[in-house]
Amino acid sequence: MADVSFTNTPANMSTPPIGTIVRADDTSEGGKAGVIQHTKLDTNLAGGNGFDIPATLTVTNGAYTIGDVVGGLITFAGAVTAAGKRAIINTITLAGVVAIPYEVWFFASDITTPDADNAVFNLFAADIAQCKGVVPIAAADYNAAASAFNIATIRGVGLQYTCTATTLYAYMKATAVTSPGTTTLTLTIHGEYID
């Protein structure tokens, strides 16, 4: 493909800067409609590398009340490539027996006073600054398997975060009076490293 000059760029630039959107229907200056004329891959970035990080939660096969922690501290090792780097969660899956609503609270580091399984979820002022977001899981998000298992899939999460090290921390909070019907749940985050 021959070199192409682009419209709407400064005179001293032969190609638009990275991040510039070039209209696909622009055929001026020799461009071809519908053809990408310029791309540059920066191999120093981790962006676009996907991850799937599962965590197994040991839970109480008994009653949780609204506001209780389910499974205690959850850690996702390798959730960023280095301290201070960014990543994004695109999808969350939760596998268990009973379709139970929860909230998953994500943190850059562990909270001031870690909460145990089946204890009240308590946060302090210092914890709020470390909170990267909360993702609700509704009972309607689950699909049932014939083998009596349920899997919730939350798509389009779009939660961007950084970590103080390379581990992302989380707590799952009960939003209904429930019993999981098992002693283990699997929570998986699916996403991409940004840098």
CA atoms within 13 A on the CB side of 65: 3
Residues of the chain with CATH 2.60.120: 50-193
By CB atoms closer than 10 A (0-12, 13-18, 19+), residue 195 is middle
Q: Which residues pair with 171 in a beta bridge?
A: 105
Q: Which residue has the higher pLDDT, 30 or 177?
A: 177
> Between 1.10.357, 3.90.550, 1.10.3470, 2.60.120, what CATH number should domain 50-193 receive?
2.60.120
List Cα–Cα distances, 160 to 91, 107, 124, 131, in angstroms.
12, 11, 22, 11
User: Considering all CA atoms of the chain, what is the largest pairwise distance in Å, rounded to the nearest integer?
Assistant: 70
Tell me what percent of the residues of the chain surpass a pLDDT of 70.
Answer: 75
The pLDDT tens digits for 42-93 are 334 456 699 999 999 999 999 999 999 999 999 999 999 999 999 999 999 9
The arithmetic mean of pLDDT across residues 89-105, rounded, is 97
Instruction: Kindly tell me if the per-residue pLDDT of 28 is higher than 90.
Output: no
Band of the pLDDT at 154, cuts 50, 70, 90? Answer: very high
Q: Which residue has the higher pLDDT, 14 or 168?
A: 168
Averaged pLDDT score across all residues of the chain: 83
The arithmetic mean of pLDDT across residues 113-122, rounded, is 95
Instruction: Kindly tell me if the per-residue pLDDT of 104 is higher than 60.
Output: yes
Q: How many CB atoms lie within 10 A of CB 27?
A: 12
The arithmetic mean of pLDDT across residues 148-154, rounded, is 94
pLDDT for the residue numbered 2 = 45
Q: Which residue has the tokens 């919730």?
A: 152
Q: Residue ranges of the alpha helices (H) in 43-144?
A: 125-130
Long-range contacts of 63-66 (CB under 8 A, 24+ apart): 63/177, 63/178, 63/179, 64/118, 64/174, 64/177, 64/178, 64/179, 64/180, 65/174, 65/177, 66/174, 66/175, 66/176, 66/177
